[in-house]
């Protein structure tokens, strides 16, 4: 909760002058300022730049960084707490138990996979131990056999590896065995040896290794002796083969090595399967073929389970088009086809917009041991948000509440009122005022006037008329008038061409040519195509200009002004006034908060409700302030000398005037393919 706030410029100056900050710390603070963030939350010399980075990223993602913005936490600890917020898991309680850094990462990963890690976690465990438990849970192993802090992580690993291969780990799951001793017993079990002769505490790991290798050597010598006496029928009948279980118990393979006299039979394979507990998905034909065709030195699939199938995720079926071409198609000359763009979709009151299909259950599977593999249900999607629609009693059908314009923006449905005018708008028609958007299937002629809180779209032309929109203005054919045409929009203004037009816009102004017009925009002016031309009049664009040609060979006076101009100053004043209002509102809310805390209502529920409402109001105002600061930062950044420019892709003609951040430059000759920039308070030209 903030009470005193330093204005962005003075805060940045204070930070830059603080010699306690290293270069990397300065960089993090500057990045935060550019992103419009409240850097006071991490502008602390006690924080290193890596810690600052984690706090900055949290603020950017709307995370409650107060839970980890503590210099005593390492940056890795901060990172894990930040990441846990994205999956709605709480690591703060584990932090209180003493877990840090990589330990928190293992806990977070387990929680994200829905694993019951808490059941086996004790406060004295460290990262590698938690990792072994997490992997065991993920593989559906019986971790109760080794999830004990008496085992170090290497002992845990040996037991886990044995469980994975269905070995009798009870022969070595003893904390008194070192992990080296455990390993020797495990290797013996994997080789099919009788390890009881050396799986004893009295033997060191070296002793165990010697005994294991001796048993293997004796078996090998016996095998070789059998091979040498192949004349003697009694020497035959050796039964050497291996069963491999893979894919977490989904598949089993048989492998019969080529050894003279190796006479494995089908019943030997079946006996081995029974011993290993493999009872499901046995491929009898494969086993018969393996023996009859004597497939030696070949890995053959002899049992296969059925993997669980995750259910289908929930999804929305839309009955309106979402794929309208929001960006106009390019013309052969590089211009933009404003005429044929479909700017919106119309819907009627009561029209079905979408239906949500819930996530489906998955299909259970089974492994080769006959164990059920439970399937996960698909993920559900959140309800759609927006305005102008309602959800039917079935909870899944979305229905329009009004006749209007349908938009699907950033996952939200927005339906706004739209008036469709099926005739030309003229002085006779009168002034048209609409709470919503207006679509004119015709032209707007002299004397026509339209004011709308939403968008204004004109299918054909606009002459001497007045258009004022709270959203965007699109004139598909263009605007041409002998006298003044006035267009004002809070958003973007676009059309095929503008001639003798007065345009004020909050967003970009885009066309294929602009002639003798007076344009003021807080965005950019973009003139497209190889025939594109910005000629005559005056253009003021805070964020820059991108045109093909500037002026013409007749030297018609053309002025282009970008950067910190009168429009920029006006916008900054508006931002400043709004910021003061927000700070005042926040101050009043915080005063009320403090007053409430001093004298809470006796009723606990009433007190809790009051505190909750105040907190919601403060958070909302704080967000408004953060968003406003971001807008201020973006505006400042857009007029930075390194960012602001006038780009001419074709020809810039003599007599044209360019002004950047109030610095003026008159072209004394024709130039082509250049960018005008500001350097050391002078306008310079850079070749494209």
What pLDDT sits at residue 334? 60
Residue in this structure with the two tokens 């839970």, named with its chain if needed: 67
CB 652 within 8 A of CB 636: no
Query: Can you list the positions of beta strands (E) in 461-542?
Result: 461-462, 466-469, 473-475, 478-489, 493-495, 497-505, 509-511, 513-521, 525-527, 533-541
Query: Can you list the positions of beta strands (E) in 151-277?
Result: 242-246, 251-255
What pLDDT sits at residue 623? 81
CB-CB neighbours of 480 under 10 Å: 17
CB-CB neighbours of 166 under 10 Å: 16
pTM tops 0.75: no
Rounded CA-CA distance 291/270 in Å is 12
Rounded CA-CA distance 323/344 in Å is 10
Residue in this structure with the two tokens 């901060």, named with its chain if needed: 78
Return the structure tokens found at 646. Answer: 């006038």
What pLDDT sits at residue 118? 87
Best CA proximity match to 147, nearest among 162, 160, 164: 160
What pLDDT sits at residue 547? 93
Return the structure tokens found at 243. Answer: 């069963």
Return the structure tokens found at 522. Answer: 């807080």
Q: Tell me the angle at which helices 101-112 and 75-86 cross, rounded to the nearest 10 degrees.
A: 10
What pLDDT sits at residue 231? 39
What angle is formed at CA 616 by the lines to CA 610 and CA 617, rounded to 5 degrees? 90
Q: Which residues of the chain have pLDDT under 50?
A: 1-19, 227, 229-236
Q: Residue 39: exposed, middle, or buried by beta-carbon count in 10 A (0-12, 13-18, 19+)?
A: buried
What pLDDT sits at residue 247? 79
CB 511 within 8 A of CB 492: no
Q: Which residues contact 431 (CB under 8 A, 6 or more apart)?
A: 449, 450, 451
Q: In what order do the strands lie in the sheet with 397-400?
A: 315-318, 352-357, 397-400, 389-391
CB 45 within 8 A of CB 18: yes
């Amino acid at each position: 909760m903030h009470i005193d706030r330093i204005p962005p410029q003075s805060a940045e100056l204070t930070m830059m002058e603080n010699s306690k900050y290293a270069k990397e710390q300065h960089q993090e603070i500057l990045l935060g300022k550019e992103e419009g963030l409240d850097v006071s939350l991490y502008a602390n010399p006690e924080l290193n730049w890596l810690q600052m980075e984690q706090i900055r990223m949290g603020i950017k993602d709307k995370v409650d960084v107060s839970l980890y913005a503590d210099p005593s936490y390492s940056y890795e600890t901060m990172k894990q707490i930040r990441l846990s917020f994205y999956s709605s898991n709480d690591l703060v309680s584990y932090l209180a138990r003493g877990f840090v850094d990589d330990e928190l990462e293992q806990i977070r990963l387990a929680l994200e996979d829905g694993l019951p890690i808490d059941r086996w976690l004790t406060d004295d465990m460290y990262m590698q131990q938690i990792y072994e438990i997490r992997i065991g849970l993920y593989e559906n192993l019986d971790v109760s056999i080794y999830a004990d802090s008496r085992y170090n992580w290497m002992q845990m690993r040996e037991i886990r590896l044995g469980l994975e291969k269905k070995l009798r780990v009870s022969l070595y799951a003893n904390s008194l065995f070192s992990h080296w001793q455990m390993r020797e017993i495990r290797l013996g079990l994997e080789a099919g040896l009788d390890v009881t002769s050396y799986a004893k505490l009295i033997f060191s790991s070296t002793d165990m290794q010697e005994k294991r290798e001796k048993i293997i050597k004796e078996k090998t010598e016996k095998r070789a002796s059998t091979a040498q006496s192949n004349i003697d029928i009694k020497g035959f009948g050796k039964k050497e083969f291996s069963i491999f279980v893979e894919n977490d118990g989904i598949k089993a393979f048989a492998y019969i090595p080529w050894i003279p006299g190796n006479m494995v039979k089908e019943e030997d394979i079946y006996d081995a399967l029974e011993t290993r507990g493999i009872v499901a998905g046995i491929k009898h034909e494969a086993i018969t073929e393996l023996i009859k065709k004597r497939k030696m030195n070949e890995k053959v699939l002899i049992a296969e389970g059925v993997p669980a199938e995750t259910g289908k995720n929930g999804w929305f079926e839309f009955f309106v088009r979402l794929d309208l071409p929001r960006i106009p198609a390019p013309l052969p000359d590089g211009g933009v086809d404003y005429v044929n763009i479909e700017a919106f979709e119309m819907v009627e009151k009561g029209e079905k917009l979408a239906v949500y299909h819930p996530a489906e259950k998955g299909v259970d599977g089974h492994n080769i041991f006959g164990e059920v593999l439970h399937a996960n249900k698909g993920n559900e999607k959140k309800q759609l948000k927006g305005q102008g629609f309602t959800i039917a009693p079935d909870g899944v059908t979305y229905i329009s509440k009004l006749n209007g314009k349908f938009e699907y923006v950033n996952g939200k449905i927005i339906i706004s009122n739209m008036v469709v005018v099926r005739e030309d708008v003229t002085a006779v028609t009168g002034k048209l005022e609409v709470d919503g958007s207006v679509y004119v299937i015709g032209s707007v002629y002299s004397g026509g006037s339209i004011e709308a809180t939403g968008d204004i779209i004109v299918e054909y032309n606009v002459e001497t008329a007045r258009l004022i929109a709270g959203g965007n203005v699109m004139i598909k054919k263009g605007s041409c008038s002998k006298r003044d045409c006035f267009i004002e929009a809070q958003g973007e203004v676009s059309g095929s061409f503008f001639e003798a037009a007065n345009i004020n816009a909050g967003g970009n102004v885009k066309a294929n040519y602009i002639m003798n017009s007076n344009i003021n925009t807080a965005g950019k002016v973009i003139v497209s195509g190889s025939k594109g031309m910005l000629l005559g009049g005056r253009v003021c664009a805070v964020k820059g200009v991108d045109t093909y040609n500037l002026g013409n060979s007749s030297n018609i006076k053309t002025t282009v002004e970008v950067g910190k101009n009168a429009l920029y100053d006006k916008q900054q004043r508006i931002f400043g006034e709004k910021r003061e209002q927000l700070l005042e509102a926040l101050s009043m809310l915080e005063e009320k908060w403090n007053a409430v805390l001093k004298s809470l209502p006796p009723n606990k529920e009433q007190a809790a409700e009051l505190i909750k409402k105040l907190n919601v109001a403060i958070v909302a105002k704080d967000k408004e302030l953060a968003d406003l600061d971001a807008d201020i930062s973006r505006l400042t950044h857009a007029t930075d000398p390194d960012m602001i420019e006038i780009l001419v892709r074709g020809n810039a003609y003599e007599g044209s005037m360019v002004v950047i951040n109030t610095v003026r430059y008159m072209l004394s000759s024709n130039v082509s393919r250049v960018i005008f920039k500001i350097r050391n308070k002078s306008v310079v030209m850079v070749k494209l």
